[in-house]
Amino acid sequence: MHITIWIIQGLAAFGFVYSGWLKAFQYDKASASWGWVKDVPKAFVVFIGLAELIGAVGLILPQATNIAPVWTPIAATALAAVVLLGALFHIARKEYRDIGVNVIFFALALLVAIGRF
């Protein structure tokens, strides 16, 4: 079970790093990839990206270093909340095809939170 949670943590962290990096540091590429980015203030998109990057670090680093490992499930819970809010945003905009990614990353983050708490 321990190895399985580490694999899930790694997959989730990779996905959040990719998504967060695009939103925080490659706004034009994110804007071209995701239609919703054009309709949201740039500062908010960057904020979401930075939150995802910090959360991705929180998924791995505390558990890997055994320094305050309680932060790993807290980071996973926070990321699950971000993804859930993103899904609700897509539902409100009737962007139903974008919700699949939200569901996957919500499940990954939730599994990490449950497995590490």
Q: In the chain, where are the structural domains located?
A: 2-116
Amino acid 2: pLDDT = 85
Residue 116's nearest CA partner among 75, 56, 57 is: 75
Q: What is the pLDDT of residues 13-55, one digit of tens each?
A: 999 999 999 999 999 999 998 889 999 999 999 999 999 999 9
Amino acid 15: pLDDT = 96
Cα–Cα dist 26/33, whole Å: 11
Q: At what angle do helices 2-25 and 71-92 cross, to 10 degrees?
A: 50
Residue 16's nearest CA partner among 109, 95, 89 is: 109
